[in-house]
C-alpha cells in the first residue's frame, strides 16, 4: 500500500503543475530518494498515467487519466478552450469534430462534438488509435524532428489497416512534407474503407503541436472538401490563439 500511496501523492503533485516536474523536484517535494521516485515514474509511464517531455525531460499527467476520471476531463484547459470553437465548427460543417492528443506511440481522442452526419467511424473518448495511419497522428509527426519520427516508425506495431494504408518510410516522409506545406493532413481510406480523415495542428505559444483537430467523412460526403478543410484550419488556428 505504501507504493500506491506514493504514486497517488506523485500524481497529485503533477496535477498542480501543468509545466511538469523533474525527478529532482518530485524527489524533494515528496521527500523520496531519486531512485525511488524514478521507479514510481517508470511504472506510471508504462501504464500511460504520466508522460515525459522529450525536450525538457519533465514529467506531466498523462491523458490516459481521461478514461479514469471525469474530473480531470472536465477541467482540462485544452478542452475547455477548444469546446466553443469545436461546437461552432461542428454546426457549421455538419461533421463530428474530434480533439486528439498523442501519448507514447498512439493517438487518443480526448473530446468530440457529435453531429448526425454520415460518419461511420465510431468516435470513442480515450480510445487509442494508430499513429501513422491517422490524420491526427501524421499531423504530430509532420512537426517532429525526423530522427524522432524514424525512431517511432521502427518501433511501431501497427500494420496495414486497408489495402490503401501507406506503410513505407519514403511514402511517409513525402506525406509529412506535404502536410507541412499545406497545413493539414488527409487520410484517404487508410484507416477504414470508404472513409477519409482530415486533421490540423493546434500549437502552443512555442509553436509546438499539443493537439490535433480532426473530422472524418465518407468519400461521398466530401463534395465541398476544400471549404470543409479551410474551416477546419481556421478553427484550429482560433484554438491555438486562445491557448497562446
Q: How far is CA 167 from CA 72, 86, 173, in A?
A: 36, 31, 11
For the CA atoms of 83, 89, 94, 98, the dihedral, rounded to the nearest 10 degrees, stands at: -50
70-243 matches 2-61 in CATH topology: no
Whether 202 and 155 have beta carbons less than 8 Å apart is answered as: no
Top pLDDT among 143 and 74 is at: 143
**% of the chain at pLDDT higher than 90:** 45
Q: How far apart are CA 82 and CA 86, in angstroms?
A: 6
Convert 128-145 to b/e letters by CB count within 10 Å (16 or more is b).
bbbbbbbbbbbbbbbebe
Burial degree of 46 (CB within 10 A; 0-12, 13-18, 19+):
exposed
What pLDDT score does 68 carry?
A: 61
**% of the chain at pLDDT higher than 70:** 90
For the entire predicted model, the pTM comes to 0.68
Tell me the mean pLDDT in the region 52-75: 71
pLDDT grade for 105, boundaries at 50, 70 and 90: confident
**Mean pLDDT over the full length of the chain:** 86
Homologous superfamily (CATH) of 70-243 is: GAF domain (3.30.450.40)
Tell me the mean pLDDT in the region 61-89: 75
pLDDT grade for 118, boundaries at 50, 70 and 90: very low
Give the DSSP H/E element, type plus range, for residue 89.
helix 77-93
Lowest mean pLDDT among 101-115, 135-149, 175-189, 199-213: 101-115
What pLDDT score does 120 carry?
A: 47
- Judged by DSSP in three states, 180 sits in helix
The CATH-assigned architecture of domain 2-61 is: Orthogonal Bundle (1.10)
Lowest mean pLDDT among 84-93, 111-120, 206-215, 228-237: 111-120
Tell me the mean pLDDT in the region 86-94: 93
Lowest mean pLDDT among 143-152, 154-163, 203-212: 154-163
Q: How far apart are CA 85 and CA 80, in angstroms?
A: 10
Domain coordinates of the chain in residue numbers?
A: 2-61, 70-243
Q: Is 108 left (phi over 0), alpha (psi -120 to 50) or beta?
A: beta
Tell me the mean pLDDT in the region 198-226: 88
What pLDDT score does 202 carry?
A: 95
Tell me the mean pLDDT in the region 86-90: 95
What pLDDT score does 67 carry?
A: 56
Torsion angles phi and psi, residue 21, rounded to 5: -140, 145
Residue whose C-alpha cell is 467511424:
121
What pLDDT score does 47 carry?
A: 86
Q: Is the pLDDT of residue 234 over 60?
A: yes
What pLDDT score does 103 carry?
A: 81
Q: Is the pLDDT of residue 222 over 90?
A: no
Lowest mean pLDDT among 32-46, 99-113, 175-189: 99-113
What pLDDT score does 73 carry?
A: 54
Residue 136 CB partners (closer than 8 Å, separation 6+): 98, 100, 102, 107, 129, 185, 197, 199, 212, 214
Amino acid at each position: 500500500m505504501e507504493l500506491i500511496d506514493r504514486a497517488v501523492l506523485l500524481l497529485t503533485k503533477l496535477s498542480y503543475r501543468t509545466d511538469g516536474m523533474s525527478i529532482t523536484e518530485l524527489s524533494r517535494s515528496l521527500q523520496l530518494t531519486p531512485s525511488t521516485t524514478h521507479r514510481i515514474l517508470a511504472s506510471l509511464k508504462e501504464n500511460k498515467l504520466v508522460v515525459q517531455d522529450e525536450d525538457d525531460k519533465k514529467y506531466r499527467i498523462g491523458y490516459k487519466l481521461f478514461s479514469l476520471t471525469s474530473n480531470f476531463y472536465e477541467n482540462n484547459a485544452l478542452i475547455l478552450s477548444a469546446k466553443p470553437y469545436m461546437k461552432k465548427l461542428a454546426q457549421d460543417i455538419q461533421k463530428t469534430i474530434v480533439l486528439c492528443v498523442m501519448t507514447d506511440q498512439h493517438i487518443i481522442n480526448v473530446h468530440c462534438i457529435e453531429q448526425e452526419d454520415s460518419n461511420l467511424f465510431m468516435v470513442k473518448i480515450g480510445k487509442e488509435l494508430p499513429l501513422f495511419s491517422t490524420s491526427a497522428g501524421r499531423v504530430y509527426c509532420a512537426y517532429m524532428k525526423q530522427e524522432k519520427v524514424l525512431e517511432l516508425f521502427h518501433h511501431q506495431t501497427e500494420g496495414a489497416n486497408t489495402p490503401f494504408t501507406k506503410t513505407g518510410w519514403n511514402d511517409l516522409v513525402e506525406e509529412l512534407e506535404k502536410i507541412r506545406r499545406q497545413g493539414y493532413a488527409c487520410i484517404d481510406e487508410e484507416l477504414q474503407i470508404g472513409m477519409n480523415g482530415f486533421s490540423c495542428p493546434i500549437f502552443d505559444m512555442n509553436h509546438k503541436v499539443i493537439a490535433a483537430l480532426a473530422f472524418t467523412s465518407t468519400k461521398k460526403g466530401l463534395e465541398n472538401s476544400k471549404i470543409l478543410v479551410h474551416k477546419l484550419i481556421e478553427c484550429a488556428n482560433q484554438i491555438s490563439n486562445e491557448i497562446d
